[in-house]
Every structure is written in structure tokens, then in C-alpha cells.
Structure 1
Amino acid sequence: MVRDDVADHAKWATRFSCDRILHSEDVEICTADVEMKLEGNGPWSLGDDIMLVPAPGHTEGTVCLLYKPLKILFTGDHLMMTESGLSIMEMYNKYSVPKQVDSVQKLIQFDFDWIIPGHGWRIEFKDFQEKNTILEAFVREKYNQYSSSYK
């Protein structure tokens, strides 16, 4: 059984002649042949332009991709915008909501103006300060909501 959105990973890799990257915490039998397995807590650099940022929570090995030249953070299922605002979609969490909130907190240190999620709407921030203000407010709200999980 495939745990998350990797069902056709081998087919896509063949079609586009590309290497696949997956954190070792998310490797399963069906993904054991990925070309690059990330180990540890990162972040990891792929050249000068791309940084892979650890964001455990949705899964144990969730990783976001930061494309530095355009200040875009691709978040996959980690963080998204919905009709009701910024969301981590707790109902679809496959590992730990508190760890996912902690991972959102850690994103504040990175310089990006855009969030491109796997689901939901993209988010554009006018600057670093607006991004930090919005993420900090979101994290504060979630820490209050899940305060018993942080004891």
C-alpha cells in the first residue's frame, strides 16, 4: 500500500528522465529504489538554487523545496491556503500534528515570498515581514489549539 502521493513516482521518473528524492523516513517498499534518500535533519542543498527544507509532521519525512532565485517554497501537503485561511489539513495528517506545527514555525527563518502547495491556493506575501507575521500568527493559534500536546 502506498502511504501518500507517490503512486506513479516510477512512471514519472521514467517519463521525464529524472532522479527521485525522498527522505529515508518516508521510504517504503514501493519507493525503495528512489535515486536519492535524504538522511538526517537537513536542510540539504541541490546546487546554489535549491534547498530542501525538512518539514516533518504530515509524514515523518516531509520535505519542502525552496527555489531561492524566485523565493518560492513548494510545500506539498505540509502547508496550504484554503477558503478558511492557512491550513495544515489536520484531518489528513499521517504522522503528527504538533510536529507539523513545529515545522511551520521553523519555516519562518527561510526567505520566501510564495508558497506553492500540493493542494489549495498559492500564497503570495508582499515581503519577508508579512510572511513572518502570518506564519507566526498561524503557529500561535495552533499552539493554543493543541496546547495539551506541547507539555
Structure 2
Amino acid sequence: MANANKRLDSNVQGNFYVDATCIDCDTCRQLAPDSFEEVGDYSAVTRQPQGEEQTHRAYQALLACPVGSIGTEQSEKGLLHRAMDSFPLPIEAGVSYCGFNSEKSFGANSFFVEHPDGNWLIDSPRYLKHLVESFEQRGGIANVFLTHRDDVADAERYARHFGARRIIHRADSSAVPDAEWVIDAADPVMLATGFELIPVPGHTPGSCALLYDERFLFTGDHLWWEPSSRRLGAPHNLVWNRHELYESIEKLLDHRFEWVLAGHGDRVRLIPEDMKAKLRELLQSRRPGPRA
């Protein structure tokens, strides 16, 4: 819970603020970019929300913050409850952003896919009654796909509650030693109709993306959207193998998708041709000679 006594000086005056416990994970800036920006090593409220929609987004950011560093001088309970009820936040075609990011994964995003053959959780939010009940109302969880070892968070609790299978690559399986389904592959693997695991080693040796319906690519920490530059981004630091990272990005050119849904960093939808152009642009910025 945010502490007004730790309110950062970088906040503008007004109801919403960020305190000094902020870990600069970007969650609030994704949800409410009109109100939150990065200032130095923290996020801060640089513009107080104006109007119902901006205020709603600011309350969503408050709830999603993994460390509870966002507070209000006066809480509007009706608006807070409305924001709570908005999660999981629909994206498109039965795909939702869970919200309630976990400190255990440094505030990584997680996603939920409703599917008639069984629902999927991609990486893990905090284990909360609200989300458990929301998932139950949508038919539960059959599979928990873990993109890599950093974003496991409360996956075990969700898997235990719903009797779900946890899926992870063997190279990162030390993070989930009792995982129900361990994949040991260097090439893409069809996990179920419409769900394809794509190994993307680089950030970690076992990093994997999940391609759903040839439209939605869940990328973990491998790839994300940078709205300020309108470019795709990939890790510079905390990289297990830089050469493998570039090779993994290049291999994504073999796949068709419209959405990048990242664990860290923003999400984006582009037509597939533009997505491939952005991938090539990213490769060209990192090393010469990507393939056509």
C-alpha cells in the first residue's frame, strides 16, 4: 500500500501519486500513459487524470502495480471497484491481460486465453481471489504456459487450484522442477490446435514464445513494443547469449502474427506485413545482414 510520506517529488500535485517503493517496471505507464511517465529511476504522475476514462485507467494502474507504490490522497471506492471488475482486461478474441502484476516476476504482464478445448494462462499474475473467481467463471485453466524462468510467480498456486498443466522449456525448468509438461526442443512444437511453442533462447536459455491462432504472439521478455519510438525492442542487458537472441528474433520471420503481447514492455497490434518489417528493422539496428 502506497505511503503518502514517501511520495516522490517528481509527482505533480493532486490525488494520484507514486511513492519511493516504485521498481520502475512500466506497468502503470502501459495502462495509463496519459498520467504516468518515467522520471529518472521511477515512474511518476506527471499529469493528474482528467475525466472518467483517464481516472479509470489510473485506478487500473494502481491495482496492477506489483509493489503497491501508487496511491491516492482520497480514494473513490466506486471507481476503484469498477477498475477491479475490469480485470482480466479484454484485448481481442478471448485474449485478456490479467492485471495484478506480481513483484515475484518484477511486474511482468500475464495473459489469459479463453478456448473451447481448455483455457490458457500465460505467465502468472498475483494469486488473488478476484482473478481466481474470474477464471472460474470463464471455465477455469487447463494449461499454464511459462515463457521463461523469471516470470513463474504464483503459477504453482493457479495450477494446483485448477488442476492445470504447467508448461516450460527444459533449459529453464529449474524454476519449476515439478512442472507437468517439460518441452525439450530447439524447433517449434504444436502443443494443441492453434497453440505453437517457439523456442527463442537468448534472454534465458529456455525462453519460449507462444503463438496462438497465428495472430497472438506471447513473448515474455524476448520482444516488446516501444511506443515512444514505434519500434520493436529486445533485451540489451540480462542476456544469456546475445548471438542466440539475434537468431531467435530472426526465426520469428518464419511466423505470421498480428499481436506482440510482452511480459515486459508494451503490447502492439500491426498487420503481419508491418510486423515483419518491424522485426527486420530491429535486426538491422542490432546487427547487419538479416535475411529477406
TM-score normalised by structure 2 residue count: 0.45
3-state DSSP class of the match of 1:11? helix
The yes-or-no answer on 1:79 pairing with 2:197 is no
- 1:39-50 aligned within 5 A: 39-50=184-195
3-state DSSP class of the match of 2:185? coil
The yes-or-no answer on 1:20 pairing with 2:174 is no
Shift of the alpha carbon at 1:99?
A: 1.2
Shift of the alpha carbon at 1:133?
A: 1.1
Preserved contact between residue 185 and residue 199 of structure 2 (Cα < 8 Å) = no
AA in 2 matched with 1:31: V
Q: Distance in 2 between matches of 1:142 and 1:55?
A: 16
The yes-or-no answer on 1:115 pairing with 2:236 is no
Shift of the alpha carbon at 1:43?
A: 0.8
Moved over 6 A (4+): none
In structure 1, what is the equivalent of residue 250 of structure 2? Answer: 105
AA in 1 matched with 2:159: A
5+ residue gaps, structure 2, are 1-104, 106-148
Shift in CA distance, 16/119, structure 1 to aligned 2, threshold 3 Å:
farther
Q: Distance in 1 between matches of 2:193 and 2:206?
A: 23
5+ residue gaps, structure 1, are none
**Higher helix proportion, which one?**
1
AA in 2 matched with 1:129: E
Q: Distance in 2 between matches of 1:59 and 1:97?
A: 10
In structure 2, what is the equivalent of residue 129 of structure 1? Answer: 273
Shift of the alpha carbon at 1:117?
A: 0.5
Shift of the alpha carbon at 1:56?
A: 0.5
Shift of the alpha carbon at 1:14?
A: 1.5
Q: Which has the higher contact order (CA 8 A, sep 6+)?
A: 1
Q: Distance in 2 between matches of 1:22 and 1:88?
A: 21
3-state DSSP class of the match of 1:108? helix
AA in 2 matched with 1:90: H
TM-score normalised by structure 1 residue count: 0.84
Q: Distance in 1 between matches of 2:273 and 2:213?
A: 17
Identity of aligned pairs, percent?
Answer: 32
AA in 2 matched with 1:75: T
Instruction: Mark the structure with the bigger radius of gyration.
Output: 2
3-state DSSP class of the match of 1:41? coil
